[in-house]
Amino acid sequence: MNIPLSITKNIHDWLFEVMSAPVATVVEKVLIAVAFLGFFALAGLLLVYMERRIAAFFQLRLGPNRVGPQGIFQTIADALKLVSKELTGTVKADQFLYKLAPYFLIVASLMALSVLPFSKELHAFDINIGVFFLIAISSIGVIGILIGGWSSNNKYALIGAMRSGLQTVSYELSVGLSILTIVVLAGSLQISEIIEAQRNGWFIIQGHIPAVIAFMIFMIAGTAETNRAPFDLVEAESELGAGFHTEYSGMNFAYFFLAEFINMFIIAAIGTILFFGGYLSPFGITESIPLLGVFWFMIKVLGLVFLMMWFRWTFPRLRVDQLLTLEWKYLLPINLFNIVLMAIIVWLGLTINF
């Protein structure tokens, strides 16, 4: 039984049967946008709950356990609280930029989500430069942080924003080079082709030691890209209050908070696509059951998300000098050597296939 693209194709055909082509096209785009916005909100809530439970597990405490069974509605209650809170700000803030900043992060995250394949049947935007698109879009979010920190007219917010710019510029190099290492192995920038090339084995195995090194560097640099501990100098509570979003409240704060968790999901999703076969089943049965690919994709992504949360609750925060030393003296040189080593392995045809 082979049913590629059956779900989306059936919806597409039905819309064009009951509506004119221009109207059906618009409705199709609206449905896709609504689906991504719904996923954005739902995934953010679930990841916040997951973070709280994992933090409690590592710290030997209960975590949320009052609102709903096992505290599953606690995050929803917090979201409702943020929605109902008054939007406050400083009088001397640049009001236009202050209000605009959160939307940079939201839009950047949504654009990155649009090219992620949840399964072969659920892939909204498959372009031949998908990996390059992801690298480019990931650079936009930091603009929102810089604008938010500067427009708040708060010295702590500004320091946090400057740290974010410094951190992003530094660690984007390692993220990009580790991704390019796998692009060399795959021979394509198109995400669907990268996944299909792993039908005979995940790239983390096919690429020998260079693929393992690339994965390790990607996870370290990706954690730094999302401003999460131990790289959370951008919002270091003991030094900067809340960092770049010190002056934000209510839903404006929630946008920043939500974007951080969605960006963590995106980093984990990219890692899954590049190193662990994306939506492909380890047992080769993805095509036989509708949406089984979504199950495998989410299991792998949540595994990497757990790894990032493990980082947060295990390692202490780095100093700024340690942060930069790690990138420029260790990760970047290793990455440059690693991509050359991967090119040699591909050139010699030494990849492993099962």
pLDDT, one tens digit per residue, over 154-183 is: 888 898 888 888 888 899 999 999 999 999
Torsion of CA 108, 109, 110, 111, to 10 degrees: 50
Residues 6+ apart with CB under 8 A from 30: none
Angle at 275 between CA 272 and CA 280, to 5 degrees: 60
pLDDT tier, 291 (very low <50, low <70, confident <90, very high otherwise): confident
Rounded CA separation 68/175 (Å): 39
What is the pTM assigned to this prediction?
Answer: 0.91
The amino acid at residue 156 is Y
Average pLDDT over every residue of 273-289: 80
- The 10 Å CB-count burial string (b at 16+, else e) for 196-214 is ebbeeebbbbbbbebbebb
Instruction: Answer yes or no: is pLDDT of 3 > 60.
Output: no
Who has greater pLDDT, 207 or 7? 207
% of the chain residues with pLDDT over 90: 45
| CB proximity list for 56: less than 8 A, separation 6 or greater | 62, 63, 64
Output the 3-class SS for 211-226.
HHHHHHHHHHHHHHHC
Domain layout of the chain by residue ranges:
88-348
Band of pLDDT at residue 308, cut at 50, 70 and 90: very high
